[in-house]
Amino acid sequence: MSTTKSMPSMSDVAARAGVALGTVSNVLNHPDKVAEATLRRVHAAIDELGFVRNNQARSLAMGRSTTLGLVVTDIGNSFFVDIARGAEEGAALNGMTLLLANSDNDYAKQETYLDLFDQARFAGILLAPFEAAPESAHRLRGHGRPVLLLNVAVPVGEGCSIVVDNEQGGYLAARHLIDEGRRRLAFVGGPDRLEPLLERRLGAERAVAETNGAVTLEEIIVGAVNAPEGRAAGSIILDRAPAERPDGVFAASDLLALGLVQTLSAALRIPDDLAVIGYDNNSAVRESTIPISTIAQPGREMGEIGARLLWSEVADGPDHEHEHVVLAPTLITRASSVRR
Amino acid sequence: MSTTKSMPSMSDVAARAGVALGTVSNVLNHPDKVAEATLRRVHAAIDELGFVRNNQARSLAMGRSTTLGLVVTDIGNSFFVDIARGAEEGAALNGMTLLLANSDNDYAKQETYLDLFDQARFAGILLAPFEAAPESAHRLRGHGRPVLLLNVAVPVGEGCSIVVDNEQGGYLAARHLIDEGRRRLAFVGGPDRLEPLLERRLGAERAVAETNGAVTLEEIIVGAVNAPEGRAAGSIILDRAPAERPDGVFAASDLLALGLVQTLSAALRIPDDLAVIGYDNNSAVRESTIPISTIAQPGREMGEIGARLLWSEVADGPDHEHEHVVLAPTLITRASSVRR
DNA sequence: TGCGCCGATTGAAGCGCTTCAAGTTAAAGT
DNA sequence: ACTTTAACTTGAAGCGCTTCAATCGGCGCA
């Protein structure tokens, strides 16, 4: 089955060019060690035969591969797309290539892909995990395959990781609302068991605490961080007497913020009566009618640094020092929170 | 460099279990040929050693791989994400795995990934190409690697392909507007050199032609199919005297439609004064304030059928018949085009 | 007791490549 | 003319696996 006409091998090329097998290998890997004339002859033979080097055999013989793998939770989320782009770039910079797998919010799939990458002997693996760092990451590291975790903290000494400072992001968001003159803030977020959301709330609390009681912060809990829940939260706010409503809302995600704005803008002026800020700088929200302020996570940077770090772990071998990088989120102000 | 403690190999397992190398291989590939007791002993050894089969060596020895590759143009576009999901599924159904590469609208990257997949001796390649079918697809096929093209027509006999009927999609969109009582239609689209857009327009023209002059169709050309251009097109319409305005607009993409709706809804009632329909069922637009009608492309189906077809080409070998599948788009009506 | 049979197991060959010690050739040095 | 040296080239070993002809050992049967 499969490939009918099997492809020409290096020895076919060698025969055609009238040189030894090893010489063809040198042409491909150490052209400086080969005489000009031979180089040309071999290249000619390669072109004539349409030779394509078999990477499986190559990695087998070399004992190492030049491919990095990235497993993301949800390729539909622009944050992960940014990470992928960055990782690709970072990999390319080191002469590696990046292959992508989408676990689609499915834990089992994630495991499947990790195993697949392991079996394929990829040089290293970048993992933006489903929820927490999975056992399997530990297992792969155990037999020498570098795994770098994205967006999730990792025990020191276990391996490298890169996270974005969610607490700081929360702080920035609330700080911004306060700076815009808001005094009755609300945090709309999910259940605290989701670490990142909890941290964002804590950051907001810190900003509020800084202002010595001049600002209040209430919390509106929703079931999930999507647009429908945002609309639900919007209704909750609208149902209150005007004096009871917050004048600044920090939503734990952009989709949530979008839902809020949709509902609230029908009855209130945004941002005049009520300012809204989201989180993620999600591309799905970038074209909303009222542009929504947000906290951007440096996904691209995350991916790129991730690939670099992973590469250095692969290259340094035993004397590699695990690093834990914390990236800073940034505030992006748009119409939903800034009076014109 | 790289993997410090190199992983245990099959012969390590064999030694540990006190059996021959070939037996371990049989345990993994033909367990039915192995005695119960031996089976257990080998499995125990595998677990104890944490053995992970080397897929590179495996594919090398077998002469074929069990991995399919998918190269998409823009992983940020939900259509391609749907394709990826479908392909993944279709691959899994046949015991294959799907690896993803994102060419990011960059022709050179696309070529790089195709070559990479070729070198990695993937069983087959699914390609949703940058624009037209690239020369390289032909080249890979030339030396026996199946390449299936998505979303792009391919010369008969060249290989398999799957497309969505854009003409039909255009027809559906215009038909819908007409059925909703619209008589002065406008098609907002890009330059005709983009095949799919041209076909969508032709489909719309067919729907209009069917109504014997009762309906008019004008064309508004924009530079690109994104939201800003949509807003620009919206302004063009608003600048006209009311009587000169269309009452039904078919935008060649959802982002375009979104931009239109944003601008138009400020001055006009949508859908009462003006109905709008887009194209793609793009997730980026799914949460717009006024839900936008659209033509959905069966991306998931496309991916799944693609993976199946590719697999059959891999399996059938020489006596494979290339297929050209045309999938039907479907109409999704939402608030932007349907009076309540 | 001897023969044939069959399921289970073995081990060598080979997949296409890299690596490297050993070999070759020619130019340079004395 | 003879040794060094440098610049190339060679070819065999080995990466970890699958495959398959050959072998083994036990069992039923005459």
Q: How many residues are given for chain A?
A: 340
- Is any Cβ of chain A less than 8 angstroms from the Cβ of B288? yes
Task: For residue range B163-180, list pLDDT tens digits in order.
Answer: 999 999 999 999 999 999
Chain D bases closer than 7 A to any CB of the protein: 7-21
Under CATH, to which class is B66-165+299-328 assigned?
alpha beta
At A158, the pLDDT band (50, 70, 90 cuts) reads confident
Q: What percent of chain B has pLDDT over 70?
A: 99
Residue A232 has pLDDT above 50, yes or no: yes
* Cα four-point dihedral sign A186, A189, A193, A198: negative
Contact B63 A145 (CB under 8 A): no
Across the strands, what pairs with B327?
B164
CA geometry: angle B326, B134, B127, nearest 5 deg: 50
Residue B4 has pLDDT above 50, yes or no: no
Give A19 CA → C23 C1' in Å.
Answer: 15
Tell me the pairing of strands B124-127 and B324-327: unpaired
pLDDT reported for residue A285? 85
Across the strands, what pairs with B275?
B248
Contact A143 B65 (CB under 8 A): no
Q: What percent of chain A has pLDDT over 90?
A: 78
- The Cα–Cα gap between A91 and A303 comes to 9
Residue B237 CB burial class (10 angstroms; 0-12, 13-18, ≥19): buried
Nearest to A56 among B59, B98, B139 (CB): B59
Task: For residue range A14-25, list pLDDT tens digits in order.
Answer: 999 999 999 999
Residue A191 CB burial class (10 angstroms; 0-12, 13-18, ≥19): exposed
pLDDT reported for residue A148? 96
Contact B59 A64 (CB under 8 A): no
Residue A3 has pLDDT above 50, yes or no: no
Residue A195 has pLDDT above 50, yes or no: yes
Question: Per the CATH hierarchy, to which homologous superfamily does domain A166-297 belong?
Answer: Response regulator (3.40.50.2300)
- Is any Cβ of chain B less than 8 angstroms from the Cβ of A183? no
Contacts of B3 in chain A (CB under 8 A): 63-64, 144-145
The mean pLDDT value for A271-280 works out to: 96
Q: Which residues neighbour A39 within 8 Å (Cβ) at sequence distance 6 or greater?
A: A27, A31
Q: If we measure between CA atoms, which residue out of B190, B183, B194, B260 comes closest to residue B219?
A: B190
- The Cα–Cα gap between A11 and A19 comes to 9
Query: CATH number of the domain at B10-53, out of 1.10.260, 2.60.120, 2.60.40, 1.20.1530?
Result: 1.10.260
Give whole-number Cα distances, A184 to A117, A213, A221, A248, B2, in Å.
Answer: 50, 11, 17, 6, 55
Give A35 CA → D1 C1' in Å.
Answer: 29
pLDDT reported for residue B288? 87
Strand C interface, protein residues by Cβ within 7 Å: A 6, 9-11, 21-22, 24-26, 28-29, 51, 53-54, 57-58, 60-62; B 18-23, 25-26, 33-35, 37-38, 57, 60-61, 63
Q: If we measure between CA atoms, which residue out of A198, A200, A216 comes closest to residue A208?
A: A216
Domain limits of chain A?
10-53, 66-165+299-328, 166-297
Average pLDDT over chain B, rounded to whole?
92
Residue B58 has pLDDT above 60, yes or no: yes
pLDDT reported for residue B2? 36
Task: For residue range A38-83, list pLDDT tens digits in order.
Answer: 999 999 999 999 999 999 999 999 998 999 999 999 888 899 999 9
The mean pLDDT value for B16-45 works out to: 95
Write down the residue that tokens 């670490």 correspond to: A195
Higher-confidence position of A191 and B13 = B13
Residue of A nearest to B266 (CA): A289
At B214, the pLDDT band (50, 70, 90 cuts) reads confident
Write down the residue that tokens 């799957």 correspond to: B162
pLDDT reported for residue A2? 36
User: Which segments within A17-84 are labelled E, that is strand?
Assistant: 67-72
pLDDT reported for residue A4? 44
At B5, the pLDDT band (50, 70, 90 cuts) reads low
Tell me whether the CATH fold assigned to B66-165+299-328 matches the one assigned to B166-297: yes
CB B245 within 8 A of CB B260: no
Instruction: Give the other-Cβ count within 10 Å of B204's Cβ.
Output: 28
The mean pLDDT value for A219-229 works out to: 93
- Is any Cβ of chain B less than 8 angstroms from the Cβ of A78? yes
Across the strands, what pairs with B221?
B189
